[in-house]
Chain A
Amino acid sequence: ILNVEQSPQSLHVQEGDSTNFTCSFPSSNFYALHWYRWETAKSPEALFVMTLNGDEKKKGRISATLNTKEGYSYLYIKGSQPEDSATYLCAWGNTDKLIFGTGTRLQVFP
């Protein structure tokens, strides 16, 4: 069974806190790891695609790292803002499909 797992399931932080979450995926047959941001009542929006072990990507206050040998990726948000409240999905790129995790739901309180 090819499983992509995300933790924690949900997270509540105060505005200004930095936070991070984990995506675990099978380390064999790795092609790519995707991160998406999914706000309530909207559609998932792509953040990053990472393909190489050790890859680090950054977009504003959000960054991600990738370890393909051990099968995990971290997403970091520095100085969380209320507008960062969303579900963050990761997806493991297999040969012909993306397999999504169930997401980490982040709520940032002002």
Chain B
Amino acid sequence: DSGVTQTPKHLITATGQRVTLRCSPRSGDLSVYWYQQSLDQGLQFLIQYYNGEERAKGNILERFSAQQFPDLHSELNLSSLELGDSALYFCASSLPGQTSTDTQYFGPGTRLTVL
């Protein structure tokens, strides 16, 4: 158990809908990262928040947004969902430091299925 929690575990929804994925980092970690794992693709970095502020952005679609709240939990909002958004979404957290060298601790993931 990494100490990172994610809810829900599974989510099934329809195209055009909007969903919110939630992540609570390990105690003491200030950075939260969101990743997308699609079939046959590696973990794709979406976005990082550090202590409430956006720190780095990856290949995140405009239909997706995220935020980190004062209690450091984070939410990833996915809107106007398409079939291709079906994937496993991971959240990870790390201690404050340098993103490139910090160990990231991954949550159990949320499997999103868009029908």
Q: Could you tell me which A residues sit within 8 Å of B by CB distance?
A: 4, 31-32, 34, 36, 42-46, 49, 51, 89, 91, 93-103
Of residues 57 to 115 in B, which have CB atoms within 8 Å of A's CB atoms? 58, 90, 98-109
Residues 25-48 of B at the A interface (beta carbon under 8 Å): 35, 40-45, 48
Q: Which of B2, B101, B106 contacts A93 (CB 8 A)?
A: B101
B2 touches A43 (CB 8 A): yes
Is B107 within 8 A of A98, CB to CB? Answer: no
Establish whether residues A46 and B101, one from each chain, have CB atoms under 8 Å apart when the complex forms. Answer: no
The answer to whether B11 has its CB under 8 Å from any CB of chain A is: no
Given contacts A43-B108, A97-B56, A97-B58, contact A49 B103 (CB under 8 A): yes
Q: How far is the CA of A98 from the CA of B46 in the complex (A)?
A: 11
| Count of chain B residues with a beta carbon within 8 Å of a chain A beta carbon | 26
Q: Which of B98, B99, B109 contacts A43 (CB 8 A)?
A: B109
Q: Which residues of B contact A101 (CB under 8 A)?
A: 42
Given the complex of chains A and B, what is the CA–CA distance between A94 and B99 in angstroms?
Answer: 8
Asked whether, in the complex, the Cβ of B43 is within 8 Å of the Cβ of A97, the reply is: no
Residue of B nearest to A47 (CB): B103
Tell which of A4, A45, A46 has the most Cβ of chain B within 10 Å.
A46
Known contacts A49-B101, A49-B103; 10 additional CB pairs below 8 A are A31-B101, A32-B100, A43-B2, A43-B4, A43-B109, A46-B105, A51-B101, A89-B43, A95-B100, A102-B41
**B40 nearest CB neighbor, chain A only:** A102
Give chain B residues whose Cβ lies under 8 Å from the Cβ of A103. 42
Interchain CB contact under 8 A, B42 and A45: no
- Indicate whether A31 sits within 8 Å of B2 (C-beta atoms), given known contacts A43-B108, A46-B103, A46-B104: no
